[in-house]
């Protein structure tokens, strides 16, 4: 699964592309950028609402409401992955420690029970937070 811009930065096959920014498929040509770099184009977009940008791209779209309190596109992807049956999820590039993203931390806190023991992160606030959950803090 790829989240946001990662979808056109990695060339390996993706099944799901999760985002709270479906308009970017149209305004930033995310799907075209993925095709240009040689990535597969038969992915399904996971987002909180339908958008004309995704419909124009021609990709299937799953409307997944995500958390009641947003925790970023990263948390949307994590919760969708858990619903799909993923047993272990490793986050890369979702530190959430920049001041602009700190407001998303509350959404992660609300989802502690769902995340515990299943999700880890490689960097930043999410790494510290999830390590605490996974080690009994």
pLDDT at 23: 87
Q: Provide mean pLDDT across the span 46-56.
A: 78
* CA count, 13 A, side-chain hemisphere, 136: 0
pLDDT, position 56: 67
Q: What is the pTM of this model?
A: 0.89
DSSP letter string, 14-65: -SEEE-S-TTHHHHS-HHHHHHHTT-----EEEESS--HHHHHHT--EEE--
Beta strand 16-18 with 2-3 is: parallel
Return the SS3 of 133: helix
Decide if pLDDT at 137 tops 60.
no
Domain boundaries, the chain: 2-63, 87-134
| Mean pLDDT for the chain overall | 90
Query: In this predicted model, what pLDDT tens digit does every residue of 78-118 receive, in sequence order?
Result: 999 999 999 999 999 999 999 998 899 999 999 999 999 99
Which tens digit of pLDDT belongs to each residue from 20-50? 998 888 889 998 999 999 999 999 999 988 7
Using 50, 70 and 90 to split pLDDT, how confident is the model at 2? very high
Residue 92 DSSP label: S
Distance CA 67, CA 65 (A): 7
3-state helix, strand, coil in the chain (%, to 5): 45, 15, 45
Reduced to 3 states, what is the DSSP secondary structure of residue 115? helix
pLDDT tens-digit readout, 115-131? 999 999 999 999 999 99
């Amino acid at each position: 699964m790829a989240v946001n811009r990662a979808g056109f930065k990695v060339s390996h096959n993706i099944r799901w592309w999760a985002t709270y920014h479906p308009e970017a498929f149209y305004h930033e040509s995310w799907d075209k950028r993925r095709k240009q770099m040689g990535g597969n184009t038969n992915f399904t977009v996971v987002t909180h609402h339908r958008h004309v940008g995704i419909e124009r791209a021609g990709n299937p779209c799953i409307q997944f409401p995500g958390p009641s309190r947003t925790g970023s596109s990263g948390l949307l992807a994590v919760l969708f992955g858990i619903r799909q049956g993923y047993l272990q999820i490793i986050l890369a590039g979702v530190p959430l420690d920049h001041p602009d993203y700190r407001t998303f931390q509350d959404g992660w806190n609300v989802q502690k029970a769902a995340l515990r023991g299943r999700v880890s992160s490689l960097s930043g606030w999410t790494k510290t937070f999830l390590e605490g959950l996974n080690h009994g803090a």
